[in-house]
Amino acid sequence: MEHSMRSPEYDAFGPWVYEVTSPDEVPPLFRDHPLDLASARLVLKVPRRIARRDANPAMNLYDHLLVVDATGLTVLSRRGETHSTRHVPPEQVAAVVDSVNLLDARLAVHLTTRDGAGVAGAGRPAGQNPVVAVRYNGASHDVVLGLVDQVRGLYRSGPVGSPRVEDEPTASASAHGSSRHQGLALDLADLGDQDVALVTAYRDLARREGVELLAAHPRTVVRPLGSGAGGAAAGLAHAAWPMTLHGAVVCRSEDELQLVHRREWWLRGRRPVHSIERTVLPLARVDEVTTGAHPRYADVTVVSVRLGETSLVLPVPAASRAATQLPEALRGRAA
């Protein structure tokens, strides 16, 4: 039975992320925040991840209010009956990661100050990146994608996500005619039947942004490095329950590198994988890039990139084009 009280917010409540365009659309929990809708570029409210049958008009129904304006990204997050506020200026954005796994969608903005002073309010375990993270229902991925573009637009010199002219070739298509990019056009089946979704996601990105395709590789079943008497046993275990390094597409624009990949780089067993994740790295934030062999698996190269206080580890097959093009692009060299 529905609660006897009614409210427009409750009547509209569901799994959807809504754009806020007027003061009465701001969730009551966040109305003490000095929000200037006139100057905001985009304001979104993210609902609690509960079923409608478990909601009632007396509850605070929204977990987050996301505000992008000229000063950066502000994230207001519900904490019981109050809320926390986190402001991220453009110069603190080290990486933006958005992903969808069926209806489980996540947005993460990794942070850096680049001056060694530390990110305010970090208080995080050793080895964990400073990050602002939001979970939401994947049905609203397109809405959140608009916010991702707005955040990127704060630190980029050019527009983000601008529509392409219908007859204009994508970067990968135009690169196909160049000798140094021969063979980089990506067909639907190039990464195998299980990873058509990765190619489709890359093609959508190329249509929206005209990115340059640098490399792509399919999923690979890896083998453990043999060591002593335990090597044979480990090999048998992996034969029965194999470890897979998942595929990825690497592309770049003038000032960003982007990877289209799965949410988990590694997966044991043979479970189906449905996730799609995109990692966006502003090249101006890259401080250090190192490469090395994986300590546990043969024929895997680990590309490690440090962006101020954020560190990301990107594993790729050692024989793939990504093993050379990914670190070169991160270091700012031509592909």
Write out pLDDT tens, residues 212-221: 999 999 999 9
Name the percent of the chain lying above pLDDT 90: 71
Please measure the distance between the N-terminal and C-terminal CA atoms of the chain and give it in whole angstroms. Answer: 61
Q: Residue 93 — φ and ψ, nearest 5°?
A: -80, 115
183 vs 251 pLDDT, higher one:
251
Cα separation, 289 vs 245, in Å, equals: 21
Q: What is the pLDDT of residues 70-79, one digit of tens each?
A: 999 999 999 9
Residue closest to 159 by CA, chosen among 169, 147, 172, 150: 150
Residue closest to 216 by CA, chosen among 232, 204, 199, 229: 199
Name the percent of the chain lying above pLDDT 70: 81
What is the per-residue pLDDT for 239? Answer: 73
Q: What is the pLDDT of residues 142-194, one digit of tens each?
A: 999 999 999 999 998 655 654 443 444 444 443 433 323 334 689 999 999 99
Read off the pLDDT band of 330 (50, 70, 90). very high
For residues 293-303, average pLDDT: 96
What is the per-residue pLDDT for 159? Answer: 57
List, in sequence order, every beta strand (DSSP E) within the chain.
Answer: 18-19, 42-47, 62-69, 72-79, 82-88, 93-101, 104-111, 131-137, 212-217, 220-222, 243-245, 248-252, 256-261, 266-268, 276-282, 288-293, 300-307, 310-317
165 vs 312 pLDDT, higher one:
312
What is the per-residue pLDDT for 20? Answer: 97
Q: What is the pLDDT of residues 10-43, one digit of tens each?
A: 888 899 999 999 999 999 999 999 999 999 999 9
**315, 266 Cβ separation under 8 angstroms:** yes
**260, 278 Cβ separation under 8 angstroms:** yes
Cα separation, 15 vs 37, in Å, equals: 23
| Identity at 254, one-letter amino acid code | E
All domains of the chain, ordered by start, with CATH? 8-152 (2.30.29), 163-330 (no CATH)
What is the per-residue pLDDT for 180? Answer: 34
For residues 118-134, average pLDDT: 64
Per-residue tokens: 281: 């790295």
154-168, 261-275, 298-312: range with lowest mean pLDDT: 154-168
Cα separation, 108 vs 100, in Å, equals: 12
Averaged confidence pLDDT in the chain: 86
Q: What is the pLDDT of residues 82-124, one digit of tens each?
A: 999 999 999 999 999 999 999 999 999 999 975 544 444 434 4
pLDDT at 302 over 90: yes
Per-residue tokens: 297: 């698996």
What is the per-residue pLDDT for 167? Answer: 42
What is the per-residue pLDDT for 1? Answer: 42
193-202, 234-243, 320-329: range with lowest mean pLDDT: 234-243
Cα separation, 268 vs 273, in Å, equals: 11
What is the per-residue pLDDT for 127? Answer: 56
For residues 274-287, average pLDDT: 96
What is the per-residue pLDDT for 233? Answer: 62
